[in-house]
Amino acid sequence: MYKFNLQIKHLLEHGVRYAPDEEIVYRDLVRYTYKDFEKRVHKLASALEKLGVKKGSKVAVLEWDSHRYLELYFAIPMVGAVLHNVNVRLAPADILYILNHAEDELMFVNKDFLPLIEQAKDKLPLIKNYVVLTDDEMPETTLTDLEYEKLVESGDEKFEFPELEEDTVATLGYTTGTTGKPKGVYFTHRQLVLHTLSLGLFQSAFITDASFTTKDVYMPLTPMFHVHAWGVPYLATLLGAKQVYPGRYEPQMIMKLVLEEKVTFTHCVPTILQMIVNAIPEGVKLPKWKVVIGGAKLPKGLALAAEKKGIIVVAGYGLSETAPVLTIANYNKKVVNLPEDQKFDFKIKTGIPAPLVQLRVVHEDMTDVKPDGKEMGEIVVRTPWLTPEYLKDPEKTEELWRGGWLHTKDVAVVDEYGYVTIKDRLKDVIKSGGEWISSLTLENLLSLHEAVEEAAVIGIPDEKWDERPLALVVLKPEYRDKITEDDLKKHLERYVENGTITKWAIPDSIYFLDSLPKTSVGKIDKKVLRERFRS
Amino acid sequence: MYKFNLQIKHLLEHGVRYAPDEEIVYRDLVRYTYKDFEKRVHKLASALEKLGVKKGSKVAVLEWDSHRYLELYFAIPMVGAVLHNVNVRLAPADILYILNHAEDELMFVNKDFLPLIEQAKDKLPLIKNYVVLTDDEMPETTLTDLEYEKLVESGDEKFEFPELEEDTVATLGYTTGTTGKPKGVYFTHRQLVLHTLSLGLFQSAFITDASFTTKDVYMPLTPMFHVHAWGVPYLATLLGAKQVYPGRYEPQMIMKLVLEEKVTFTHCVPTILQMIVNAIPEGVKLPKWKVVIGGAKLPKGLALAAEKKGIIVVAGYGLSETAPVLTIANYNKKVVNLPEDQKFDFKIKTGIPAPLVQLRVVHEDMTDVKPDGKEMGEIVVRTPWLTPEYLKDPEKTEELWRGGWLHTKDVAVVDEYGYVTIKDRLKDVIKSGGEWISSLTLENLLSLHEAVEEAAVIGIPDEKWDERPLALVVLKPEYRDKITEDDLKKHLERYVENGTITKWAIPDSIYFLDSLPKTSVGKIDKKVLRERFRS
């Protein structure tokens, strides 16, 4: 009996059919049409087969955001192989670990990463072939003499893609947890097609300041190696939208492309947004440029600064484990009718769930929190695009999928309008007397005191209440010995009065330290603090 | 391992979450919110279970377009039963046939159809219960004392819907072919969810004069018993759009609802559009009302007349077998840049395929026609929402699915822009010298001659060319004996000169008749003509 398997090739088919002459642009170097793009994908796929790539073969890609990467996004899964998107920002040892853990057989590697791979070659026994990606001449390398453009040229444009079962694995990535080894997550053709449809519908048929349709011009600023650049390259291709790829992120090139190619839709993390806002001279206002912000909390100050320069921001949320999109801070029908200044606060929240996303915020016993904007719980989800497991890690998989829901380890509240706001990471939240206290909220409030340079809040064991918050504060030099524990507690009490926190959340003790321990990437190392103060 | 089954309940969940306070309206009688709607669906489902409805039970519905019907659209499939949408316009004998063929166990019946069913009751041995739907008091009937509102009231709003496999059959309908018995077609939860996502994306993320988003106000004017009212009630619910149900179609009520409820999106057949255009007084122009037209060719004259009165029309195409949407005459990126008058001609074509629709126009040997707007072939499709078979009819199923593509039996051309235009039904097209000649086109051209009252063109066997066209013409009384075969051939030759038809298409013979045989619904009966002239 008839069965239609959802496959990534259907996304490409529709885009090319709808907009054969639309453009795909790479920096100021390459410009071609969807028709050309499709031809090259066919040639590339044919060349992959000649290189021995089979159904299930893992193919690693280490590349900046480019038209080449987009070609690999389609060609590799469409022959039934697995596209392994390698996070090139990981430590070399981690990159080596994941290449072996994934059992990659073939690697596409940008010339910028050749030194790293040349050095590690002997430790990568499974990789049979390397293909070099470069904007210039083929560089000297002991790895290989295969160059991407020549490889594409060698392929057959009449190559026919096989029909695949929709549960065929299409892509593989690794989470970048702060502790432990990276964990492998993967997604099937079906999952990515459904993710694309839902995301596309959410950003076009619902009310939003960040609409995305075929008329938009798309440029990613979340790297393509990071959870499929949020899945937007697949959506942009389905829509037949103009696409612009910036290569390695350089503020000047980015601004040039935005202005010359008239980019209208982008996504990035707050840090990149900050970089862009800084790069736009005071008084200059861009034409309407919609940017969805994810990966970390979007501070209101930054959002306001961005809008002042013509960048329309909307927050979004997802994980490596979730393909990634779960929520976007689109407007619902209640919120869209609020006054403008109130609406603004909603579009920088974590957001509302996309179609087909079942999202709950739950207590530890899996009962739902009250939607009062205060009661905290963990975000758990079910959607058609979640990693079925952590690759080769049944133990972590069981933890991830406890009770049939994917546990995000993000702690959040839900307000009366249905908007989710993340308050903390699960490991940092303080569980006290059956209630959860957000360490992040307390840290933010403490930081608002003029004397406070840095603050960390951790839970310490308490016989009666399970845990109680302990604040660890570094004062600015000029305030040292002038500010007492009581001063800071009084400061916090003001936020009890206005309802930001409960009286219960005020730490019993505040200790003053000369400095706080940091991790290698400069974040406060709460693990060290806990070890020190919990015993 | 984790599997997310696509289910109709996910459409409802998202709509209610997004727009709990949005309205659903029935005539000037009922008005409630999505929240209320969801509660009633739960109660209805609970009551269904109490009535013995189980997974796989077939439930027949005979009802006009109402909020009640919308509740049944969700509640019946969501308990795992099959919603059988009964075409109440069929002949009583056919209705009886399909109720038994479907093996319906329970029937929801509007009081308007009680006389029909009361009379037939003895011939419906499988139906265990009847529920009466009425806007007024429960009428006297020997069938049952179950009334819909009381039934809903008796249900439990806390009823929990079961998790279903996505391949669970959700709906069942019957095709209304002109010959033979009605044939059963059915669709699963997965198919309807995918149909909804694709249709939603097509009408919001792509360029169209008939956009449909959460901001629209939807009212069907293709009956809900006809291929899920083109699937739009499911989409409208997912979007949380305001919905308006007109009951039995009455021009006055329709116009009242359009104006008072500010309806912006509707779909209907050309006949209904004509009725509406006629109902709008000369000189009156409605505010923007988008209407997608399907079911039959949209004549340009009618389209222009509609637009003059403020109705924005766009053509669409689908079959009972295809859930139904295959194409809509949205703009692609080439066509949208044409001058306005040319664009207009594109939006009344059959259209371009929706996302995930694989559509080909093929010769009998399954090779594709040239996209030149001239070469004719049959439309064959593959999409995720096609009936797997004709119920209990393996022979017709094999014919439908010959070669792994669903055969629409519609003959069409594709132009250089990728737009499909239906030219004929496969059974009426004339196959001559390896080329196909459209009987419909010839009939239309003959009708343009001032002397012609009616014309039919059929293929007659030809030893050399397989078939040749024969035209059968009824002249207007005042022209009889004044017009010759040659006059009409000369008339047709003008259309050869301007490229509308090839010289080859001109019939070798034109016979003049006093009248043409008609079917029971008033269409020209070509079967009779063929029998008479082919031998």
Residues with pLDDT less than 70, chain B: 177-179, 521
B431 SS3 class: strand
Q: How far apart are CA B25 and CA B34, in angstroms?
A: 10
Given a contact cutoff of 8 angstroms between Cβ atoms, the answer to whether B526 and B428 are in contact is: yes
Predicted confidence at residue B521, as pLDDT, reads 66
CATH 3.30.300.30 fits A432-533, yes or no: yes
3-state helix, strand, coil in chain A (%, to 5): 35, 25, 40
- The b-or-e profile of A101-128 (16+ CB within 10 A means b, else e) is bbbbbbbbbbbbbbeebeebeeebeebe
Contact B6 A240 (CB under 8 A): no
Q: How far apart are CA B408 and CA A423, in angstroms?
A: 55
Sheet bearing A406-414, strands edge to edge: A358-362, A377-382, A406-414, A420-425
CA distance B14 to chain A (A): 6
The segment(s) of chain A belonging to CATH 3.30.300.30 are: 432-533
A405 is catalytic: no
Chain A contact probe: residue of B1, B4, B398, B399 with most A CBs at under 10 A: B4
Q: Which of B22, B203, B355 lies nearest to residue A14, judging by beta carbons?
A: B355
Contact B18 A333 (CB under 8 A): yes
CB under 8 Å to A484, separation ≥6 — which residues? Answer: none
B76 by Cβ neighbours in 10 Å (0-12 / 13-18 / 19+) ranks as buried
The segment(s) of chain B belonging to CATH 3.30.300.30 are: 435-533
Dihedral of CA atoms B12, B18, B23, B25 in degrees, nearest 10, equals -30
C-alpha distances (whole Å) from A213 to each of A265, A454, B49, B425 are: 9, 43, 43, 35
Q: How far apart are CA B288 and CA A429, in angstroms?
A: 52
Q: Is A1 on the interface with B (CB under 8 A)?
A: yes
Contact B214 A204 (CB under 8 A): no
Residue with tokens 């000169």: B497
Contact A4 B204 (CB under 8 A): no
The segment(s) of chain A belonging to CATH 3.40.50.12780 are: 8-414
| Contacts with A215 from chain B: Cβ below 8 Å | 207
The catalytic position among A222, A237, A436, A441 is A436
Helices A189-205 and B189-205, packing angle to 10 deg: 50
Q: Is B281 on the interface with A (CB under 8 A)?
A: no
Given a contact cutoff of 8 angstroms between Cβ atoms, the answer to whether A352 and A330 are in contact is: yes
Chain A contact probe: residue of B18, B190, B202 with most A CBs at under 10 A: B18
Contact A18 B352 (CB under 8 A): yes
Closest CA to A209 of A295, A280, A271, A298: A298
| Contacts with A333 from chain B: Cβ below 8 Å | 18-19, 21-22, 214, 240
CA angle A354–A72–A159, rounded 5-degree value: 115
Q: Is A403 on the interface with B (CB under 8 A)?
A: no
Q: Is B392 on the interface with A (CB under 8 A)?
A: no
CA distance B18 to chain A (A): 6
The catalytic position among A261, A321, A443, A467 is A321
Q: Which of A10, A205, A382 lies nearest to residue B356, judging by beta carbons?
A: A10
A166: nearest CA partner in chain B: B384
Q: Is B500 on the interface with A (CB under 8 A)?
A: no
Q: What are phi and psi of A25, to 5 degrees?
A: -125, 140
Q: How far apart are CA B332 and CA B346, in angstroms?
A: 10
Instruction: Tell me the CATH number of domain B435-533, given options 3.40.50.300, 3.40.50.10260, 3.30.365.10, 3.30.300.30.
Output: 3.30.300.30
Q: Which of A13, A215, A333 lies nearest to residue B240, judging by beta carbons?
A: A333
Contact A358 B13 (CB under 8 A): yes
B436 is catalytic: yes
Given a contact cutoff of 8 angstroms between Cβ atoms, the answer to whether B88 and B95 are in contact is: yes
B237: nearest CA partner in chain A: A355
Tokens of A301: 């100050």
Predicted confidence at residue A521, as pLDDT, reads 66
Find the helix or strand (DSSP H, E) in which B212 lies. none
Q: Which of B4, B332, B382 lies nearest to residue A383, judging by beta carbons?
A: B4
| Contacts with B204 from chain A: Cβ below 8 Å | 201, 204-205, 213
CATH topology of domain B8-414: Rossmann fold (3.40.50)
Tokens of A520: 């290698």
CA distance B444 to chain A (A): 31
DSSP-derived letter for residue B331 is B
| Contacts with B19 from chain A: Cβ below 8 Å | 332-333
DSSP code per residue over A444-494: HHHHTSTTEEEEEEEEEEETTTEEEEEEEEEE-GGGTTT--HHHHHHHHHH
| Contacts with B10 from chain A: Cβ below 8 Å | 355-356, 358
Q: What are phi and psi of B424, to 5 degrees?
A: -175, 170
A436 is catalytic: yes
B22: nearest CA partner in chain A: A333
CA distance A406 to chain B (A): 9
DSSP-derived letter for residue B507 is -
The catalytic position among B71, B436, B443, B526 is B436
Residues 60-99 of A with CB under 8 A from B: none
Q: How far apart are CA A246 and CA A272, in angstroms?
A: 13
| Contacts with A212 from chain B: Cβ below 8 Å | 205
Dihedral of CA atoms B306, B312, B314, B315 in degrees, nearest 10, equals -30
CA distance A224 to chain B (A): 23
ipTM value: 0.94
A301 by Cβ neighbours in 10 Å (0-12 / 13-18 / 19+) ranks as exposed
Residues 314-333 of B with CB under 8 A from A: 332-333
Q: How far apart are CA B113 and CA B134, in angstroms?
A: 11
C-alpha distances (whole Å) from B340 to each of B293, B327, B344, B348 are: 20, 21, 6, 13
A384: nearest CA partner in chain B: B4
Predicted confidence at residue A178, as pLDDT, reads 61
Residues 232-251 of B with CB under 8 A from A: 238-240
Helices B67-78 and B34-50, packing angle to 10 deg: 50
Residues with pLDDT less than 70, chain A: 177-179, 521
Predicted confidence at residue B399, as pLDDT, reads 95
B128 is catalytic: no
A435 SS3 class: strand
Amino acid at A308: K
CA distance B286 to chain A (A): 24
Residue with tokens 């298409």: B505
Tokens of A496: 């009890």
